[in-house]
Amino acid sequence: MASSPSPRSQRQSAASKANAEMPSNVCFPCHTGKRGCDKAVPYCSHCVQRNKADECYYIDLSLIGSDGIYNAISSANGIRGVAFRAVLDMFPKRQMVKHAIDAYFSGANTWFTIVDQPKFESQLESLWENPTPEMCALVLCMSLIATPPNVTTRVSRGNKEGTGTGNNPYHCAKAILVLVETNRTLTVEMLQAELLVALYELSHAMPREAYLTLNRCVHMAKACRWYTKAFWEGLGGNPRLKKLFSVLWWAIQYLDCLLHIGYDNPSYPMSTAAQPPDVVIPLPENINSRVPGSFGSPLGIGSSDYSQLDDLKMPLARSACFLWNVLQQPGEYSGMDSDATEMASRTNQMLSDRNPSNHAAVCTNLIALLKMWQPQWQPALLHGHNLDIPTSPLFPSDPDTAKLHAALTTTKTVISYICNEAALEITKSPSRLLTLSPSWAFAMYYAAVLLIQHGNAVLREANEADWFAKVGGLKQALEMVGRRWRIGGWYAERIGAMLGQTQTQRAGDFGVGVGERSRSFAR
């Protein structure tokens, strides 16, 4: 009969078992606060006593690296440490990362769908045990897009001022991206992060920075041979990879178009205008990614489940393609009649569906229609031609007059929708700002400019006060958009300046009565 273990051996066995289960490092809050830690599982006693159990977690402290983003980096592990430390500096609690990621996927990613949510969430699980610089950079950029400009995202971990990654999430994300790109192989996560930075800069009235970031995205595409016909033909056996690259390319095109029209500055020419004419990049909706195919990519994509990508249509891609074609042929768009009819039909269908993922595409279509038709009616207006054209289907028979009539009718319809539906909905439902595309800021600004310059002629308003009221509503909506995207407030200020100039000019022509109305409107 076997003898039972002695009490001493039982104590030694229990102690060795406890030591085996005990984490090798102190918990992260105790490490940053320089406190003693008993390494209890799942939470240390110090964190429990301070009611900070939700902040208590154990990580490999060797992953953090040296303190401070601007210290010397001597190895790949050092780059990973700085990038991971930036994430920890921005998100002391793991729950804060989840909250930021959820806000991103329920917001911008619904209409600017460049990150596959199931794949990303599976990668995020390993971030705390095996962080990569690319994933850290992408997390920072997703948080950057998901956070309104008036919200502070960094929470101090007890560091002294001047250490860590700094108080500005934008500068932190940019610094990490530069560090990663200069020391690592190009990956999809890096291109996705750059696109999010470009979207942020474009949406917060930073055109010079957005132009430089977009150029980096284009150079990444060129480095991966996206500008060659053979590259896209060679992806026939990898439909998922082809669809992913198509999504990313049209995201670049979309941002490039918005930068070009949103700031109207010759210093920022379109970065994608030099695309070779024989290279046709397919739209995501035309690629069947459910066909079996293996992954293999110069952007470092591994085999994984792109479940969201399989079902992705990305209507924004076709809208960006339409707008890009219009901008490449200003005033002489060869496919005007057929494309205008198709896009108007698609826009009406998307409006009836009321799908949040479509609203950026709808806005892009409206901008493209305004841009396409303005060169048709503006010359006639400037030369003093009669624009009071009958709307009877039997009139007019002259093709040029018919085109002028179609241009004015479409322009009036689009501006009326922007004023009476989009802007009004924003002012009545501020919660819509959470999922609002910044392209609506330009659409409202563009409509306001057309009203100020051609209000009576274009919209056939009964009197000047009618289009003044519409401009006032657009200005108010833009001020609200500025709470989410700073470009809204920037446009609102420009509208106010234009109105001031218009009223000053008309006051000199017609007397001081108009000036009173200008002051009341400015309020």
Domain count across the chain:
3
pLDDT higher at 177 or 402: 177
Last residue of a domain, one of 180, 204, 228: 204
- For every residue of 150-193, DSSP letters joined together read TS------SPPTT-TT-S-HHHHHHHHHHHHHTTS---HHHHHH
Range of the domain at 121: 64-204
Is residue 25 in some structural domain?
Answer: yes
Is residue 454 in some structural domain?
Answer: yes
pLDDT higher at 292 or 239: 239
- 294-298, 322-326, 460-464, 497-501: least confidently modelled range: 294-298
Q: Is the pLDDT of residue 16 over 90?
A: no
Shared-domain flag, residues 371 and 515: yes
Share of the chain above pLDDT 70, in %: 71
- Give Cα separations from 249 to 168, 191, 230 (angstroms): 29, 10, 16
Cβ contact 340:410 at 8 Å: yes
Q: What share of the chain is helix, strand, coil (3-state, %, to 5)?
A: 65, 0, 35
Shared-domain flag, residues 490 and 371: yes
- Give Cα separations from 373 to 258, 333, 381, 400, 417 (angstroms): 18, 10, 13, 13, 16
Shared-domain flag, residues 371 and 459: yes
| Residues 341-366, mean pLDDT to the nearest whole number | 85
Q: Is the pLDDT of residue 255 over 80?
A: yes
Predicted pLDDT of residue 33: 67
Shared-domain flag, residues 35 and 95: no
pLDDT higher at 510 or 193: 193
Shared-domain flag, residues 424 and 371: yes
Shared-domain flag, residues 126 and 28: no
Shared-domain flag, residues 49 and 180: no
HSE (side-chain half, CA atoms, 13 Å) at 382: 7
- pLDDT per residue as tens digits for the range 201-229: 999 999 999 999 999 999 999 988 888 88
Residue 448: pLDDT band (50, 70, 90) is very high
Residue 423: pLDDT band (50, 70, 90) is confident
Shared-domain flag, residues 135 and 157: yes
pTM comes to: 0.80
Q: Is the pLDDT of residue 17 over 50?
A: no
Is residue 74 in some structural domain?
Answer: yes
Most confident of 203-217, 278-292, 356-370, 490-504: 203-217
Q: Is the pLDDT of residue 194 over 90?
A: yes
Predicted pLDDT of residue 133: 87
Which two tokens mark 185?
């192989």
pLDDT higher at 400 or 167: 400
| Residues 326-342, mean pLDDT to the nearest whole number | 74
Is residue 317 in some structural domain?
Answer: no
Shared-domain flag, residues 41 and 175: no
Instruction: Return the CA Rg of the chain.
Output: 28
Last residue of a domain, one of 139, 171, 204: 204
| Residues 34-52, mean pLDDT to the nearest whole number | 77
The H or E element containing residue 144 is helix 133-146
- pLDDT per residue as tens digits for the range 262-279: 988 888 888 887 778 788
Find tokens 């076997």 and name the residue: 2
Task: List, in order, residues 6 or more apart from 218 with CB less than 8 Å away.
Answer: 252, 256, 271, 272
- The 10 Å Cβ neighbour count of residue 496 is 16
Shared-domain flag, residues 41 and 190: no
Predicted pLDDT of residue 6: 59
Is residue 141 in some structural domain?
Answer: yes
Q: Is the pLDDT of residue 356 over 70?
A: yes
Residue 39: pLDDT band (50, 70, 90) is confident
- pLDDT per residue as tens digits for the range 75-102: 556 777 788 888 888 887 778 888 999 9
Is residue 314 in some structural domain?
Answer: no
- pLDDT per residue as tens digits for the range 472-488: 999 999 999 999 999 99
Q: Is the pLDDT of residue 59 over 60?
A: yes
Residue 378: pLDDT band (50, 70, 90) is confident
Shared-domain flag, residues 353 and 455: yes
Is residue 420 in some structural domain?
Answer: yes
Predicted pLDDT of residue 523: 37
Q: Is the pLDDT of residue 395 over 70?
A: no
Which CATH number do you get for residue 48?
4.10.240.10
Shared-domain flag, residues 142 and 29: no
- 183-192, 240-249, 338-347, 471-480: least confidently modelled range: 338-347
Last residue of a domain, one of 152, 187, 204: 204
Cβ contact 224:250 at 8 Å: no
Is residue 429 in some structural domain?
Answer: yes
- For every residue of 48-98, DSSP letters joined together read HHTT-GGG-----GGGT-SSSTTS---SHHHHHHHHHHHHHHH-SSHHHHH
pLDDT higher at 143 or 264: 143
